[in-house]
Amino acid sequence: MITPTAWPAETIWEQVYSLLPDFTVEVLPEIDSSNSELMRRARAGQHEPTLLVAERQTAGRGRMGRVWQSQPGDSLTFSLSLPLTPQDWSGLSLAVGLSLAESLHPDVGLKWPNDLWFQDRKLGGILVEAASMGGRSQVVVGVGLNIRPRASDGLNTPPAALTELLPELTAPAALGAVAWPLIQTLKAFEAQGFAPLQKRFAARDVLQGRAVYTSDGQQGVSLGVGPGGALRLQTELGVQDIHSAEISVRPKT
């Protein structure tokens, strides 16, 4: 693997330019939250597609309000803002996770709805937000990936690191690997939704066939995800489809 020593901003811009001529790449040494910044811009009427990389976040956010700690070199944290108008938003975070996993390593698994896992430990997470202003819809996709091993203090799930799979990997190299495929995936999702990705997601689904429990008190066996991205749960009351991304799902140990 060729490991770049600097952020591949120009290379990514060159890959994306023909599809999104007004696309920009920004790398900031420190910010509160890359997602918060791009959401602020979207609400202010700035709709240019933007990839914003934060070397350090002071108030990084994960799903359900969780804090995502970010230090230079230890993790890759970035957000991508795109005008997006899919017919159905269902399954978007699953599509993002699948794109990232496929770009990184065959052993990266996916835990519904938006976590990347390795050996039942968390490699990374995804936060998807949307803003609508003046009839225009803007999606902001935030990604946090553990590059190097990190402490597990205060975490519900033990962390894993991508350098366990790719020992020479750096944050810039990871960004170079995932950015362009992610944009292509988002544009394909806009046109076709999640259904064409269902089988590929199933191949990496770390919950399928396992006994799980949910944060709202349900228990059962995961049957995988449906064509709309819902988690299908076999319970004593029958098969339940879980759509809400506000529900957390964990395998039973």
pLDDT band at 5 (very low <50, low <70, confident <90, very high): low
Catalytically annotated residue among 41, 63, 111, 204: 63
Instruction: Read off the pLDDT of each residue in 195-224 and give the average, rounded to a whole number.
Output: 96
User: Residue 205 and residue 225: Cα distance in Å, rounded?
Assistant: 9
Tally Cβ neighbours within 10 Å of residue 101: 24
Calpha distance 181→173 (Å, rounded): 14
Looking at the chain, the whole-number percentage of residues with pLDDT higher than 70 is: 92
Q: What is the mean pLDDT of residues 196-215?
A: 97
Pairwise CA distance, residues 13 & 20, whole Å: 9
Q: Locate tokens 């140990």: which residue?
A: 253
List pLDDT tens digits, range 56-73. 988 766 544 455 555 678
88-147, pLDDT tens digit by residue? 999 999 999 999 999 999 999 999 999 999 999 999 999 999 987 767 789 999 999 999
For residue 200, the SS3 value is helix
What are the strands, taking DSSP E only, across the chain?
Answer: 24-28, 50-54, 75-83, 109-111, 115-118, 121-133, 136-146, 211-214, 219-225, 231-235, 238-242, 249-251
DSSP alpha helix (H) spans, 57-170: 92-104
Annotation marks residue 40 as catalytic = no
Nearest CA-CA partner of 128 in 174, 171, 79: 79
Percent of the chain residues past pLDDT 90, beyond the cut: 77
pLDDT for 61: 60
Which of the residues 148, 150, 200, 250 is marked catalytic?
250
The answer to which of 74-83, 102-111, 132-141, 192-201 has the lowest mean pLDDT is 132-141
User: What is the pTM for the complete model shown?
Assistant: 0.92
Determine the pLDDT at residue 3.
Answer: 39
Residue 111 falls in the annotated catalytic set: no
**Active-site option among 41, 61, 111, 122:** 122
Task: Decide: helix, strand or coil at residue 167.
Answer: coil
pLDDT of residue 68: 53
| Residue in this structure with the two tokens 């810039």, named with its chain if needed | 172
Contact 96/145 with Cβ under 8 angstroms?
no
Going by the DSSP 8-state scheme, the letter that residue 61 receives in this structure is: B
**Cα 42 to Cα 81: distance, rounded to the nearest angstrom:** 8
Residue 41 bears catalytic tag: no
Question: Does 2 score more than 50 pLDDT?
Answer: no
Task: Please report, for the chain, how many H helices and E strands are present, in that order.
Answer: 5, 12
The closest alpha carbon to 206, from 230, 222, 226, belongs to 222
pLDDT at 251 over 90: yes
Residue 132 pLDDT: 77
Q: Residue 222 has which token pair? A: 């995961």
d(CA 151, CA 125): 16
pLDDT at residue 135, as a whole number: 72
Cβ-contact 42, 81 below 8 angstroms: yes
Q: Which residue has the tokens 């959401």?
A: 39
Q: For residue 137, what pLDDT is reported?
A: 86
- Residues paired with 57 in a beta bridge: 31, 70
